[in-house]
Structure 1
Amino acid sequence: MIPDRIIEQGTLTTDGEHAAVEVRIPWYRAIPASCISEVSLAVDGVPAPADSLTWTMNGETHPIAELAQRSDDWWFPLDSAVVTGALPVEPGGEHRVDVELKLYIPYIVIGDDEVLRIEEHDTKTMAASSAKEAVS
C-alpha cells in the first residue's frame, strides 16, 4: 500500500559483518508482530541469509522466525523497526538497499479463515554509516 516509504532514507548502518536499516510499516494501521510473515534484506544485490535476520521493535530484538509467536508486540505506523542481517558492508559509499515485507492484515478477512496478505518491496540508495558512529 505504501511501498516507497518502507526503508527510512539514511538509516543504513554496518559493523563490517552485519548491516541494519530502519523500516516503516507499509500499511495505515498497526499490526501485531505475529502478522509479519516474511522479511528479506539485501545490500548491493547480496541477500542476507534468512537465518541471520533479526527484527528490533519496541526495544526488543528477535529472530524473524520468532515473530510468529509475538502477538503481544504491535508495530505502529509511526514507529520504525530495525532489520539486521549478516552482510559484510563497508561504511561510506553508496549502497543499494532492498527490503521485502510480507504481512498479514488480520482484520481484513478475504475468505474462510483467510486474511489479507500483502507483499511489498522498497529499494533505496544510501551511504552506510558505522554502527559505532550511529550509537554515539
Structure 2
Amino acid sequence: MIPDRIIEQGTLTTDGSRAGVEVRLPWYRALPGSCIAEVTFTVDGVQADAESLRWTMNDRTFAIPDLADKVDEWWFPADSAVVEGDLAVEPGDTEHRVDIELKLYIPYIVTAHGVLRIEERDSKTMRATAATMEARQ
C-alpha cells in the first residue's frame, strides 16, 4: 500500500558483522506482531540469514518466527520497528543498497482465499553508521 516508505532513510547501522535498519508499516492501521509473516533484509545484494533476523518494536526484540503468537504486541503506523541481521557491512562514506521485503496478514480482510496477505518491498541507498549491536535472542 505504501511501499516506498517502508525503509526509513538514513537509518542503516552496523557493527561490522550485524546490520540494522528502521522500517515503517506499509499499511494505514496498526497490526499485531502475529500478522508479520515473513521478513527479508538484504544489503548490497547479500541477504541476511533468516535465523539471524531480529525484529524490535515497542522496546522488545523477537526472532521472526516468535512473532507468530504475539497478538499483544502491536506495530503502529507512526512507529518504526528495527530489523537487524548478520550482514557484514562497514560504516563510512560508501553508499549501500538496502532492500526490505515484508509479508503481512491483514486479519480483518477475508477473501475467498482466506485472510488477505500483502507482500511489500522497498529499496533505499544510504550510508551505514557505526553502532554497537548484539545478536538478540
TM-score normalised according to structure 1 size:
0.94
- Matched with 2:5 is 5
Residues 1:66 and 2:66 are matched in the alignment: yes
Determine the C-alpha separation between the residues in 1 that align with 2:66 and 2:15: 24
Residues 1:104 and 2:97 are matched in the alignment: no
Percent of aligned positions that are identical: 69
- Matched with 2:24 is 24
**Segments of 4+ moved more than 4 angstroms:** none
- Matched with 2:85 is 85
- Matched with 1:36 is 36
Determine the C-alpha separation between the residues in 1 that align with 2:8 and 2:127: 12
Determine the C-alpha separation between the residues in 2 that align with 1:94 and 1:27: 28
Q: How many residues align?
A: 131
Determine the C-alpha separation between the residues in 1 that align with 2:53 and 2:34: 16
- Matched with 1:94 is 95
Q: CA deviation at 1:27?
A: 0.3
Report the secondary structure of 1:26's partner residue.
Answer: coil
Show structure 1 runs of 5+ residues with no match. Answer: none
TM-score normalised according to structure 2 size:
0.94
